[in-house]
């Protein structure tokens, strides 16, 4: 009996903190019924969605995970900081998991593949498993040469905690003059915004490996999904991305809106980004090559 108990894999404290944390975040959104809504609350929610979403798509994903364009250390830090605020884990953890996903897509090893593990596990269940925290981060070691990125990984939790405190202060400061309150800005700008950003990101792993178009044979189940393409700042053109993983541009057709790519283009225009990797057939002068 004692032996059998020992063999049962015990959930790590991190797993419980994710389960409890995600439940609390979702329930906290219901606080909107208590706080009500205002223009300031909607602005805060949208701002936090865009600001942190861009941090994940341009910072964590296209820059840190895929090195799909070049920029300077300051911009890299700012983008990584914005991503670290999205409550999706620190940059080294996020990048290690994502690179693993590309290296082992739809295999048993790919812990958020809906093909091998089902939709629930692909969407958010994978973060509630030990496997999510078994990641040693060996495949994100190239980023260890940036102490500022290691700093973000190390102090990630404090970056999460600071946000509701700041939003509460801003809400109280704006106060009745803007028809808002500290609690209202926390509910809308932090909890609702975070949960919405989560589900758009999670849909890239779940929905974009199940429903949508497959213009390219990427040797996996990845799809281009219009809804996630538009909502996820271009990340939903996921079949394009699996075919050309190092491309800085995911929306390859004119109608495939890719706001993250627009941001990279804007940064290039003002000299803050260079050498974007682009697939050969979509390349213009000055673009670098992107491996298939
Ligand atoms: Zn994928
Ligand atoms: Zn990727």
Cβ neighbour number for residue 177 with a 10 Å cutoff? 8
Cα(116)–Cα(140) distance, integer angstroms: 24
Separation CA 183–CA 165 (nearest Å): 10
SS3 state of residue 149: helix
Please, are residues 192 and 168 in contact by the beta-carbon 8 Å criterion? no
Q: Which has the higher per-residue pLDDT, 288 or 123?
A: 123
How much is the pLDDT for 1? 39
**pLDDT tens-digit readout, 256-287:** 999 999 999 999 999 999 999 999 888 876 67
Model pLDDT for residues 72-91, shown as the tens digit of each residue: 999 999 999 999 999 999 99
Numbers of helices and strands, H then E, in the chain: 16, 4
CA–centroid distance, residue 206 to ligand 1 (Å): 8
Spell 256-275 as b/e; 16+ CB within 10 A means b.
bbbbbbebbeebbeeebbee
* Angle CA 10–16–21, to nearest 5: 170
Question: How close is the Cα of 204 to the center of ligand 1, in Å?
Answer: 7
CA of 241 to the centre of ligand 2 (A): 7
Neighbours of 22 (CB within 10 A): 16
Reported as a pLDDT band with limits 50, 70 and 90, residue 183 is very high
Distance of alpha carbon 115 from alpha carbon 113, whole angstroms: 5
User: Which tokens is 22 given?
Assistant: 């995600």
Ligand nearest to the CA of 66: 2
Ligand 1 center to residue 203 CA distance, Å? 10
Residue from 19, 149, 29 nearest 84 by CA:
149
DSSP state of 213: B
| Confidence band, pLDDT 50/70/90 cuts, at residue 14 | confident
Residue 252: pLDDT band by 50, 70, 90 thresholds? Answer: very high
* Ligand 2: centre distance to CA 265 (Å): 19
Per-residue pLDDT band for 6 (boundaries 50, 70, 90) equals very low
- Give the β-pairing of 288-289 and 277-278: parallel
Average model confidence (pLDDT) across the chain: 93
Q: Which two tokens stand for residue 46?
A: 């949208």
Three-state secondary structure call for residue 47: helix
User: Helices marked H in 175-257 — which ranges?
Assistant: 182-185, 193-205, 226-231, 238-243
Residue labelled with tokens 């269940």: 125
The rounded distance, in Å, linking the Cα atoms of 203 and 132 is: 17
For residue 291, pLDDT beyond 90:
no
């Amino acid at each position: 009996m004692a032996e059998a108990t020992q063999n049962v894999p015990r959930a790590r404290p991190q797993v419980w903190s994710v389960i409890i944390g995600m439940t609390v975040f979702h329930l906290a959104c219901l606080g909107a019924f208590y706080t009500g809504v205002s223009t300031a609350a909607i602005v805060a929610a949208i701002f936090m969605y865009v600001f942190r979403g861009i941090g994940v798509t341009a910072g964590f994903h296209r820059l840190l995970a895929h090195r799909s364009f070049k920029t300077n250390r300051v911009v890299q830090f700012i983008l990584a900081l914005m991503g670290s605020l999205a409550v999706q884990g620190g940059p080294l953890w996020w990048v290690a998991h994502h690179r693993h996903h590309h290296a082992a897509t739809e295999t048993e090893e790919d812990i958020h593949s809906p093909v091998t593990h089902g939709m629930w596990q692909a969407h958010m269940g994978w973060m509630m498993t030990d496997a999510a925290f078994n990641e040693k981060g060996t495949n994100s070691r190239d980023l260890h040469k940036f102490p500022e990125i290691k700093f973000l990984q190390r102090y990630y939790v404090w970056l999460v905690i600071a946000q509701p405190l700041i939003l509460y202060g801003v809400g109280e400061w704006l106060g009745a003059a803007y028809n808002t309150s500290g609690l209202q800005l926390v509910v809308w700008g932090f909890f609702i915004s975070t949960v919405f950003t989560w589900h758009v990101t999670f849909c890239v792993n779940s929905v974009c490996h199940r429903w949508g178009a497959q213009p390219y044979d990427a040797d996996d189940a990845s799809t281009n999904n219009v809804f996630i393409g538009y909502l996820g700042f271009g990340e939903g053109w996921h079949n394009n991305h699996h075919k050309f993983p190092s491309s800085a541009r995911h929306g390859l057709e004119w109608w495939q809106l890719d706001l993250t790519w627009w941001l990279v283009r804007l940064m290039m225009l003002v000299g803050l980004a260079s050498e974007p990797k682009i697939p050969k057939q979509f390349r213009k002068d000055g673009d670098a090559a992107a491996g298939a």
